[in-house]
C-alpha cells in the first residue's frame, strides 16, 4: 500500500512520470552499450529475502559477461550456497553454474548441466531472468542490437535521484511493487551498480544489490 501511495503522489506531482532528463541519460547509456565492439565485466549480486515474520536469508551470485561484436556473447553466473542450506544439506550445498551464450554455431544455455539451443537470443536471456536475479536481462541485452530496448527499460516511471560526483543515480518504478536504482558512471555511461527492492504478494520483501566491475569496454 505504501508503494502504491508513493506512486500516486509522484504521478500527481509530475516528479517521476515523463522525466525527460532521466530518459535522456538512459538513452545515452543504451547507445554506449550498443556502440561497444568489446565488453567484459565481472561482479557480484546479493539478494536478501525477508519473510513477513522478519526472518530472512541471503542469495549470492557471482557473474561474468563477455561480448565481441558480430562474434560472441557469453553470460555466466554462479549461485552460491547460502548458510541455511549448507546447514540443512539443501540443494544449494554446492555452487550451481548457469550459462547463456551466443556464437557462430548458434544460441545456447546450460542450466543444471543440461544444454538447450534457442532460435532467438531474447528467448534465451528472458528464460534466465528469474534465476539470474534479473542480471541476464541487463547488460547482455543492452549489448545485443537484435533486442530492442526503450529508454524506459520496461519501467513505468523514472527519475534522477542524484547526479552529483562521478555517478548518475536513476530510480525506476516497476509493476508489481518493484523499485530499482541504476548507478551510471558519468565517464563511461556504463552501469556500475544496480539495486532492486520488491514487496511481494505474500508480504515478503526482497532487497538486491549488484556491483559491476568493468574489465574492458571499447
The H-or-E segment that residue 3 falls in is helix 2-13
Fold of the CATH domain 2-217? outer membrane lipoprotein receptor (LolB), chain A (2.50.20)
pTM for this one? 0.85
Q: Is the pLDDT of residue 17 over 60?
A: no
- For residue 148, the SS3 value is coil
Dihedrals φ, ψ of 127, to 5°?
-70, -20
Which grid cell is 78? 554462479
- The string of pLDDT tens digits covering residues 28-86 is 999 999 999 999 999 999 999 998 999 888 889 999 999 999 999 999 999 877 655 55
| pLDDT tens readout for residues 152-207 | 898 989 999 999 999 999 999 988 779 999 999 999 999 999 999 999 878 899 99
Alpha carbons within 13 angstroms on the beta-carbon side of residue 207 total 6
What are the domain boundaries of the chain? 2-217
Cβ–Cβ under 8 Å, residues 147 and 159? no
Amino acid at each position: 500500500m505504501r508503494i502504491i501511495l508513493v506512486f500516486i503522489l509522484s504521478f500527481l506531482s509530475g516528479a517521476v512520470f515523463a522525466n525527460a532528463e532521466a530518459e535522456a541519460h538512459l538513452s545515452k547509456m543504451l547507445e554506449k552499450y550498443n556502440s561497444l565492439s568489446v565488453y567484459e565485466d565481472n561482479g557480484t549480486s546479493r539478494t536478501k529475502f525477508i519473510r513477513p515474520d522478519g526472518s530472512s536469508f541471503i542469495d549470492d551470485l557471482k557473474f561474468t559477461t563477455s561480448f565481441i561484436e558480430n562474434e560472441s556473447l557469453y553470460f555466466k553466473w554462479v549461485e552460491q550456497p547460502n548458510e541455511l542450506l549448507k546447514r540443512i544439506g539443501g540443494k544449494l550445498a554446492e555452487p550451481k553454474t548457469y550459462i547463456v551464450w551466443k556464437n557462430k554455431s548458434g544460441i545456447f544455455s546450460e542450466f543444471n548441466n543440461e544444454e538447450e539451443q534457442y532460435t532467438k537470443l531474447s528467448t534465451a536471456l528472458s528464460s534466465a531472468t528469474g534465476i539470474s536475479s534479473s542480471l541476464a536481462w541487463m547488460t547482455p541485452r543492452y549489448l545485443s542490437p537484435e533486442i530492442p530496448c526503450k529508454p524506459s527499460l520496461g519501467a513505468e516511471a523514472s527519475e534522477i535521484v542524484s547526479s552529483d560526483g562521478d555517478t548518475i543515480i536513476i530510480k525506476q518504478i516497476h509493476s508489481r511493487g518493484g523499485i530499482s536504482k541504476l548507478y551510471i558512471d558519468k565517464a563511461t555511461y556504463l552501469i556500475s551498480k544496480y539495486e532492486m527492492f520488491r514487496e511481494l504478494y505474500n508480504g515478503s520483501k526482497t532487497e538486491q544489490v549488484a556491483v559491476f566491475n568493468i574489465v574492458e569496454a571499447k
